[in-house]
Amino acid sequence: MSPLTKRSTIYLDPVLHKALRLKSAETALSVSEVVNDAVREALAEDADDLTAFEKRRNEPTLSLEVFVKELKRNGTI
């Protein structure tokens, strides 16, 4: 274990824990590596989402009420 790693206790649903152990065995990675990879991927997706939100910041917003009325008016619903 690298001296730069941090130890943490997490509580997992038993089914998720079993899935992690199975994935660990199939991929020859430790459970920690599988979890770290999944967290990195989730955070990268969050970063992508934040970038997309920032790019669209100045676009006009549309309320759900207006949107649903528009759908009804044009026969979609």
Q: What is the pTM of this model?
A: 0.71
Per-residue pLDDT averaged across 59-75, rounded? Answer: 95
pLDDT grade, residue 3 (50/70/90)?
confident
Tens-place pLDDT, residues 29-65: 999 999 999 999 999 999 999 999 999 999 999 999 9
Domain total of the chain? 1
Q: Look at residue 7 in the predicted model and tell me its pLDDT.
A: 94
2 within a domain of the structure (yes/no): no
5 within a domain of the structure (yes/no): no
The widest CA-to-CA distance across the chain, in whole angstroms, is 63
31, two tokens: 């459970």
Range of the domain at 56: 14-73
Say how far apart CA 34 and CA 30 lie, in whole Å. 6
9 within a domain of the structure (yes/no): no
Say how far apart CA 53 and CA 56 lie, in whole Å. 5
